[in-house]
């Protein structure tokens, strides 16, 4: 299923900047960055649990915001893109 991950990490402090890097790095392991703080992750149920638990451990819940949008299996019809970084197929190769 497709899970959209969006985050705001508070980067005022050096530890915040570190959290931001770690959050992005973890998301990269599971999906495709489509905007600066937005990843589309095509995951199976086990991967979804791992991704979610991993992110929850990384963020500071008092300072950062993490949102997940479960787009399901028929996610393609739910997504529209305009502008730079054109459409790609997470199930295939990245079109740059």
Q: How many residues bind a copy of itself (CB under 8 A)?
A: 36
44 in a known ligand binding site:
no
Cα–chain center distance at 87: 16
Cα–Cα distances in angstroms (integers) from residue 78 to residues 12, 70, 73, 74, in the given order? 34, 11, 10, 8
23 part of the interface to a copy of itself, by CB under 8 A: no
Q: Is 35 in the site for a copy of itself (CB under 8 A)?
A: yes
Q: Which stretch binds a copy of itself (CB under 8 A): 24-32, 69-77, 88-96?
A: 69-77
Q: Are 8 and 47 in contact (CB under 8 A)?
A: no
Asked if residue 1 binds a copy of itself (CB under 8 A), the reply is no
Give dist(CA 30, CA 53) in Å, integer. Answer: 13
Q: Which residues bind a copy of itself (CB under 8 A)?
A: 4, 6-8, 10, 34-38, 52, 55-56, 59-72, 77-85
């Amino acid at each position: 299923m497709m899970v959209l991950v969006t985050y705001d990490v508070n980067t005022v402090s050096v530890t915040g900047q570190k959290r931001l890097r770690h959050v992005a790095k973890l998301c990269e392991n599971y999906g495709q960055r489509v905007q600066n703080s937005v990843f589309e992750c095509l995951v199976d149920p086990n991967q979804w649990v791992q991704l979610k638990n991993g992110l929850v451990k990384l963020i500071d819940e008092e300072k950062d915001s993490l949102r997940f949008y479960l787009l399901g299996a028929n996610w393609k019809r739910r997504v529209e893109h305009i502008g730079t970084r054109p459409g790609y197929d997470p199930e295939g190769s990245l079109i740059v």
